[in-house]
Structure 1
Amino acid sequence: MEHDTYNTKENLPPQASLTGAKKIEGLLKEANTAGMDTCDMDDLADVPSVSTNPKAKKLPLELEEAKLAYKVVHAVATFSVGCSLNLQMVRNAIPNAKIDLTDYMGVIVKMTEPKCSTMIYRTGTIAITGARNEIHASHAAHVLLSQLQAIGYNVGFHNYKVSEISAALDLKFPIALQELYVKYVHICTYKPDIYKPLIFNLPEPDITIFIAPDGNVIFTQAKNREDIVKAIDVMYPILVTFKK
């Protein structure tokens, strides 16, 4: 069977992008809470330890609390139904569906329950974006399967994968972003006159982090929850040192 190429970092349709400024601002608000240079872990070697950082006396406890406090706010998933699809038939039969005439030729479905967007390709590959979390993404997949079965397709549920998640964390303290930027200028982007959050490109795990002045943080492009926890392990000691 022919397969669609769907790499979430390189070939994601425009409406599915996780790193657009409007999308990140939306995630920051909902949680109530340009290229970037790459680097290696040596760039973070001077992060103060708990014993030498006066602002981090209670860091072990606070760090563990932070790792429990984050909330997944966005998930991307892909799967295959195992058969080719007639896009016009799908578009006519499924509510809130429209044909996408861009290079990502497929049917876009705006779902309301759960709230998310899906891209259906003629090869039977389906991408789900905008789901609130992994559970909502799975629910959306099964809703689509039921709708395609109702049309008459003998669909299966193959190669389901949550390929990317974003998570929000409220640090509950403001951060001196200009000072943070000066310290880590080689791996940060910060243009407050254009976009208020500082963008921190963490090398390991490979996650892009949006840090707002009030201490609300969005972790994007994580492959799983383990990556989020690892990123908090690295970033929390850094951000504590720039607490206002």
Structure 2
Amino acid sequence: MQDVTNESALNRVSVISSATNHSSSMHTNPSNTPTHSGTYSSVITPAMSTSQSLIAGEVALTPTHSTFTPQSVNPHSAMTAITPMVSGTDQARSSIKVQNCVSTIHLGCELKLLDIYCRTRFSEYNPARFHGVVMKIIDPRATALVFRSGKVLCTGLRNEHDSYIAARKFARIIQKLGYPARFLDFKIQNFIATADLRFPIRLEALQQAHGQFASYEPELFPGLVYRMVRPRVVLLIFVNGKIVFTGGKTRGEINEALDIIYPILRSYRIS
């Protein structure tokens, strides 16, 4: 009778142990996916794989009890917009304005200046003061200096295109007067531009340190004259930070001159 009781107790313990192992296996594998061997295989739960499967633009599944709530993941949502800083040289470059573009052409024939003056409008001729005819046109607004040799100098334009158009119009006016004028050797001879650095400059100290290139006589002229060797540009520098560029034959030479002179003037800034 005692043996029967012991055997019954052992069977009860075995049943409880089997139930416990079966429950533990179910918790490890909630999908209850049987393997080929007939046992339950272990898989990664969504809670464990969420941090590993987050890819930009994908939807993450966050387990809440027995359901999953979709959450949009935006990698740019935590970024802060940064405004790029503009350098002082770029600011100075943006302030450059071409005030005058001077060009020359040659008509290929000699001219009678008094005859041209008498037969054209908007022209001036005073050989006692200037040995050329001063002619003007309205569109584009330009002035030409016409010389006896056939050379014509055009001034008053703001860009190369307008200077070219004005030079052709002056040549056409001379042709209509009966001269065998041709449009030859058009060249941009000089760009006159201005820039504003927006800080005051110690011109006396600049002249002392760069005496080889700079001359400053405030009694005669309020600006410092700075002559660059390469590019061959002359700068008129004023104490308020304004600069006049002259002598440059291209816009690139004006920009190059500013790039060279800006760090120099920056070191002589009045704080």
TM-score range normalised by the length of the shorter chain: 0.5 to 0.7
| Larger Rg, first or second structure (1 or 2) | 2
Give me the whole-angstrom Cα distance separating, in 1, the residues matched to 2:235 and 2:85.
20
The SS at the match of 1:138 is helix
* Offset at residue 218 of structure 1 (A): 0.6
Could you list the per-position Cα deviations for residues 109-168 of structure 1 after superposition, in whole angstroms to 9, with x for gaps in the alignment?
244544443221233221123433433322321221232233234432111001111111
* Offset at residue 243 of structure 1 (A): 1.6
Give me the whole-angstrom Cα distance separating, in 2, the residues matched to 1:115 and 1:189.
35
Find the counterpart in structure 1 of residue 118 from structure 2.
92
* Number of aligned positions between the proteins: 187
Task: Work out whether residues 70 and 169 of structure 1, in 8 Å CA contact, stay in contact via their aligned partners in 2.
Answer: yes
Could you list the per-position Cα deviations for residues 59-101 of structure 1 after superposition, in whole angstroms to 9, with x for gaps in the alignment?
9822233334311112221112233333222111222323352
Give me the whole-angstrom Cα distance separating, in 2, the residues matched to 1:59 and 1:232.
19
| 2:180 aligned with 1:157 | no
Find the counterpart in structure 2 of residue 217 from structure 1.
243
Q: Larger deviation: 154-163 or 210-219?
A: 154-163
Find the partner of 2:91 among 65, 89, 95. Answer: 65
Find the counterpart in structure 2 of residue 172 from structure 1.
198
Amino acid in structure 2 at the alignment position of 1:185: G
Structure 1, unpaired ranges of 5+ = 1-57
| 2:89 aligned with 1:78 | no
Find the partner of 1:144 among 170, 176, 180. Answer: 170
Structure 2, unpaired ranges of 5+ = 1-83
Q: Larger deviation: 113-122 or 169-178?
A: 113-122
Find the counterpart in structure 2 of residue 16 from structure 1.
none
Going from structure 1 to structure 2, the CA distance change for 1:60 and 1:179 (only over 3 Å counts) comes to: farther
Find the counterpart in structure 1 of residue 57 from structure 2.
none
Find the counterpart in structure 1 of residue 232 from structure 2.
206
- Give the RMSD, CA atoms, in angstroms: 2.6
Runs of 4+, deviation exceeding 6 Å = none
Give me the whole-angstrom Cα distance separating, in 2, the residues matched to 1:201 and 1:154.
41
Could you list the per-position Cα deviations for residues 179-238 of structure 1 after superposition, in whole angstroms to 9, with x for gaps in the alignment?
222221232111223321111111211211101111110111112112111111110110
Give me the whole-angstrom Cα distance separating, in 1, the residues matched to 2:112 and 2:177.
11
Quick one: higher RCO (CA 8 Å, sep 6+), 1 or 2?
Answer: 1
Find the counterpart in structure 1 of residue 6 from structure 2.
none
Give me the whole-angstrom Cα distance separating, in 2, the residues matched to 1:180 and 1:115.
39
TM-score (norm 2): 0.61
Give me the whole-angstrom Cα distance separating, in 2, the residues matched to 1:196 and 1:113.
35
The SS at the match of 1:192 is coil
Amino acid in structure 1 at the alignment position of 2:185: N
